[in-house]
Structure 1
Amino acid sequence: MQKDQLFTRRRLLLAGGAALGAAGTAGIVLAGSAAETAGGAAAPAAGPQARPALKSSAFRLQPLTGYGPPRTAPRKLKVRTEPITEISRSGRRMMLTFDDGPNPNYTPHILDTLAKYDVRAMFFLCGECIVVNRELVARMAEAGHVVGNHTWTHPLLTTLNRRAIRDEMTSTSDAIEDTYGERPQWFRAPYGAWNRAAFQLGAEMGMEPMAWTVDSTDWTEPGTRTIVDTIENGAAPGVVILSHDAGGDRSQSVKALREYLPYLLDNGYRLTVPRRRT
């Protein structure tokens, strides 16, 4: 798809979104590429393993009506044995990531704050949330944010067979392409629970596995001040921050972003996202 066609498509999706649906351990990715390793088993990355999964909705894994030309086959990648947890440290880069959305109650406020400071972030999206909030995904594309695959229903992948994992990942990538305009190039396992199948299938679908360096703990709803302190104390070049814009009451996450984002910028951090492969 040509760049101008993609831009037009995003504008149309953004304008018509409401009518379409409803209102770690090791590894460094260098700004746009990363050292790649061969396949094998891996232990789950550190993270919120105990948080309840999102409940499956009535539209779980339903076929989606696509837009535009037929899908192109993704470029297969080498299989990693552990997820990426950092970005390049040069230029005091950091990255903000938000999981489980989009959600109409919280995602718009997060997008508003990011826009206020002209900052881009990564959003790891769940398919069942995409199909009822397409206008928010289109808005992410329009603003230059990068989106990743976070499965359809947010299951614990280590409890699923290979076919079920594939269905969760493929359906979500299809939904992202239909709405965002491109297939995702990044995947994050729910709960940070990785297994061999997730690494292998992600590589087959052209997605690199992305985890995080610092868990904001916002999923525990510890209070806005605690979230802010956790992120500010954990800030360092190359750090990837884990936050959430769905999966529960995320009002604390919204308020915290308004406090720590200007702090990070004032302290010389460059909030960035990985370059897209062409």
Structure 2
Amino acid sequence: MLTVAALGAGAVASGCASDARNGAGGAHGQPPQLAPPAQALHEYAQRVRANHTARAAAARYWGLSQVPLAAPPPPAVKPRLKTRKGFGVRGHAQLPPVFTTVPTERKVVFLTVDDGAEKDPAFLRMMSDLRIPYTAFLSNYLIKTNYGYFKQMQDRGTALNNHTLNHRYMPDLSYKAQRREICGMQNVIEKRYGKRPELFRPPYGNYDRDTLRAAKSCGIKAVPLWASEGFADRMAWREWDRDLHPGDIILTHFRGSDDWDGSMTDMVRTVMKTVTGRGYAVARLEDYL
């Protein structure tokens, strides 16, 4: 808010000089003309205020007690990804990194949604209204009943990534079977949505060396897991301190009342109560990878 205020003040200060040149009220009662740099700052401040006003109205509509914080601009230099200690496999240096947190000092976290079972239109509207970014990891056996739902998601700016064809427990499968699961899903997403993903999340978060070898051979660059998980009525924590940390990845699922004590919109309220209440913004994962 200090930045916006400073920008606004700068625009007003520059505008005063312009007013002196053009007359206090501008020609024929029109708003005073600002010098180009001041005008750009003034327009930026107006956009920021308008965005905040829209998010505040959406927060009230969707039953959030706090307005979600806006994420900062993407970093100019992407963080270097490393496999989390204890998550590596033999020869991991040549394989996609596996991590639960993205290296950053910013107070941002990343929301990811898995599988594709529930296809709730209200979830799409809520996330668009609140302007909350998220990343989807999809399994074909669940999304094939309504590919169009996820096309709507993609059209609203969400990246669609790989969660295998059939959500099998990967370490039980041979290398060839694992490769069929991963490369097969790459093909589905490319055919249906026009782009082969670079991110892969193994079902249940379980993998072995063959999983990562197969993923790399299918074009996967990174394997984001998660540091915490959101449900309709609670958060579940992987870390000992049961808290958020800069760059943490939050997992949730496409689930509804058949599986949860609530809906996907309830899940968003639960997650955002924790995220916003602890001073974090939700950023777009792909902007940091």
Length-normalised TM-score, structure 2: 0.61
Output the CA distance in 2 between the equivalents of 1:257 and 1:229: 16
Amino acid at match of 1:275: E
Amino acid at match of 2:235: I
* Structure of larger gyration radius: 2
Matched, 1:195 2:208: yes
Name the CA shift for 1:32/1:275 in 2 (closer, same or farther; >3 Å). Answer: farther
Q: Which has the higher helix share?
A: 2
- 3-state secondary structure, aligned to 1:243: strand
Name the CA shift for 1:241/1:275 in 2 (closer, same or farther; >3 Å). Answer: closer
User: CA offsets, 1:46-94, max 9 Å, x none?
Assistant: xxxxxxxxxxxxxxxxxxxxxxxxxxxxxxx9414x6121123332110
Between 1 and 2, higher relative CO (CA 8 Å, sep ≥ 6) is seen in 1
| Alignment of structure 1 residues 1-278 onto 2, 5 Å | 32=78, 34-35=80-81, 40-41=89-90, 78-80=94-96, 83-104=98-119, 106=120, 108-207=121-220, 208-216=222-230, 218=231, 224-227=232-235, 234-246=243-255, 249-250=259-260, 252=262, 254=264, 255-261=266-272, 264-265=275-276, 267-275=278-286
Aligned residues: 206
Q: Is the 8 A contact 1:41 1:195 kept in 2?
A: no
Q: Is the 8 A contact 1:147 1:184 kept in 2?
A: yes
Structure 1 gap segments, 5+ residues each: 1-29, 44-76, 219-223
User: CA offsets, 1:128-186, max 9 Å, x none?
Assistant: 22322211221121111122211111100011111111111111111111222211110
Structure 2 gap segments, 5+ residues each: 1-74
Q: Percent identity?
A: 24
Partner residue in 1 for 2:21: none
- 3-state secondary structure, aligned to 2:116: coil
Instruction: After TM superposition, give the deviation of residue 263 of structure 1 in Å.
Output: 5.0
Output the CA distance in 2 between the equivalents of 1:197 and 1:120: 32
Output the CA distance in 1 between the equivalents of 2:189 and 2:110: 21
Amino acid at match of 1:270: A
Q: Is the 8 A contact 1:99 1:246 kept in 2?
A: no
Q: Is the 8 A contact 1:156 1:190 kept in 2?
A: yes
Name the CA shift for 1:124/1:250 in 2 (closer, same or farther; >3 Å). Answer: farther
Name the CA shift for 1:147/1:177 in 2 (closer, same or farther; >3 Å). Answer: same
Instruction: After TM superposition, give the deviation of residue 187 of structure 1 in Å.
Output: 0.4
- 3-state secondary structure, aligned to 1:88: coil
Output the CA distance in 2 between the equivalents of 1:190 and 1:42: 22
Name the CA shift for 1:138/1:277 in 2 (closer, same or farther; >3 Å). Answer: farther
Amino acid at match of 2:282: L
Amino acid at match of 2:227: T
Name the CA shift for 1:125/1:244 in 2 (closer, same or farther; >3 Å). Answer: same
Length-normalised TM-score, structure 1: 0.63
- 3-state secondary structure, aligned to 1:257: helix
Root-mean-square deviation (Å) = 3.4
